[in-house]
Amino acid sequence: MSYAHGMVGMTIKLRELQERFDMIRQQSNRAWLLLLHMMNGAAIAVRSTIQPID
């Protein structure tokens, strides 16, 4: 009985951890996409100064 209760408790804990991890991952994904977007913009700017875009 206590073993099953412990398993349920661990499952709930794992679910909470997973939800928190998903939240952190979504936030870091947003920051990462923004960073990639900025880097892409910088690369395009540098490329256009080196050679004009047709």
Q: CA-CA distance, 5 to 2, in Å (whole number)?
A: 5
Q: What is the pLDDT of residues 1-54, one digit of tens each?
A: 688 888 888 999 999 999 999 999 999 999 999 999 999 999 988 888 887 666
Contact 16, 22 (CB under 8 A): no
Which parts of the chain fold into alpha helices (H)?
2-50
Q: Would the pTM of this model clear 0.85, i.e. be above it?
A: no
Q: CA-CA distance, 4 to 38, in Å (whole number)?
A: 50
Beta-carbon count within 10 A of 5 CB: 9
Question: According to the model, what pLDDT value does residue 31 have?
Answer: 94
Q: How many residues does the chain have?
A: 54
